[in-house]
Chain A
Amino acid sequence: MDFNLMIEVTPLLVKAAWITIDISIRSLFFGFFIACGLVFLQSFQFAPIRWFARGYISVIRGTPYFVQLLLVFYGGPSIGLRLDPITCGVVVGAFNIAAYMSEAIRGSIESVDSGQVEASRSLGFGKVQTLVSIILPQSAALMIRSIGILAIVLIKNSSLVSIISVVELTYQAQRLIGSTYKPLEIFTLSAFMYVIIIYAVMGIIELAYRRAMRYTTL
């Protein structure tokens, strides 16, 4: 192991790691809203709207993220969809994770006992008030934990955007290997950085989970 080299390339990898974090956070942020939209669409009485949401989720879950990324980045321009690499990574990441996240959100909402809804409605609360005051506080803990798992998936998925030449952690590692011919050192270092990022995320999730657990008995 060439430790001097490892120390030398660390600043470059740390910088690239920020791109990884940046892409992941933005994907998670937009993905959350898309996921909420998908949950909402599935509550429609009008069946075709529900089918659209279910269909979208099936297609996204039924195809590899890698293929989705390549399709949008290389196929998109043919239909006028030109995205720069980072935007493409964020957008595809968001739309991808939203499919999984909508299922996680729906599952956590459905895990709340139906008697809770009946009790709330019987007091005269409307659907939205019931959701906000009764259902969400009780499903928050489970929701946080499931979304946290997806955040970790998202961070690891972000290594795939290296294929469309976004200079994130994995692409930077490959570049450095191209000039130093030391894959063991550099990939070890980049793997270690992923571990740090992911453990930090897990810590945040755990704290949020414990906070939310105060309000739940599930």
Chain B
Amino acid sequence: MNTERNKDEPMIEIRDVHKSFGDLEVLKGINLTVNRGKIVSIIGPSGSGKSTLLRSVNHLEVIDQGNILLDGVQVNRPDMKGLQFERHINHIRQNMGMVFQHFNLFPHLSTIDNITLAPRKLKKMPPKIARELGMELLNRVGLASKADVFPNWLSGGQKQRVAIARALAMEPKVMLFDEATSALDPELVEEVNQVMQSLAEEQMTMLIVTHEMGFARDVSDWAMFMDGGVVVEECAPQKLFSNPDQERTQNFLRKHLNS
């Protein structure tokens, strides 16, 4: 991988993003840049807008104002209509891996088919090569033995690892994690964190929305605290988690670390 060369090249750029649901403004002008190979964590109370922000990057939420760029290409294109935008966004999304809180594995497909569906259909990868790729990815998340099992037979942690493998199958430029471990039993969190950790070591660009303060502190290059649709504070994670400047951040962390 050619990650050394363009270390400070912005991969995700979020510029002055606004988003409202009806009268409720959930994002009030957010700015954030994630450079290639960097990991940014977003923390904050529920309703702070952090998930909406992440989903906006993938255009699962349509922003009202501002710009989002992936590797220099604008994601939101208010100037495009209908099919033209469909083609544009489908292409953009192939470069972004998204991992959801509730896994959203396809229950009618086996584990390996969950992973290989997108490469087969979207990249026209031959089934045999797709299967090899799928097995390689399953190996990577430690689930090679579960290739032909259906998702319902897997534990929550296993499901999430398959979901990560599914997202990786399209060889995305960035990975987006939307509270990937929030729906898991505490004892299953670690196995998913380990997979995310290994991605970090491979210099995958990641934007992570999480409640796992310890994990965020350990893997992130940058941490951001959001509340009420604004960025309250952002800095290096060591500082944010141990010695934040803002009182709102301090209160949030105190509540979270005690519970």
Contact = CB atoms under 8 A, between A and B. Distances in A.
Given A124-B94, A137-B108, A216-B107, A115 B122 contact: no
Nearest to A124: B94
B153 to A, nearest CB: 11
B152 interface: yes
A129 interface: yes
Contact of B90 (A113, A118, A125): A125
Nearest to B150: A217
A119 B102 CA distance: 10
Interface string B81-96: 0000010001101101
Interface in B99-129: 100, 102, 104-108, 117-118, 121-122
Contacts of A120: 106
A123 interface: yes
B117 A122 contact: no
Interface residues of B, number: 25
A123 B171 CA distance: 11
Interface string A120-135: 1111111101000110
Given A118-B100, A133-B117, A137-B108, A123 B94 contact: yes
Contacts of B50: none
B107 A115 contact: no
A119 B122 contact: no
A122 B90 contact: no
Contacts of A119: 98, 100, 104-106, 163
25 contacts: A116-B104, A118-B98, A118-B100, A119-B105, A119-B163, A120-B106, A121-B60, A122-B58, A123-B118, A123-B122, A123-B166, A124-B90, A124-B93, A124-B170, A125-B118, A125-B121, A126-B86, A126-B90, A129-B121, A134-B106, A138-B106, A138-B107, A215-B108, A217-B108, A217-B152
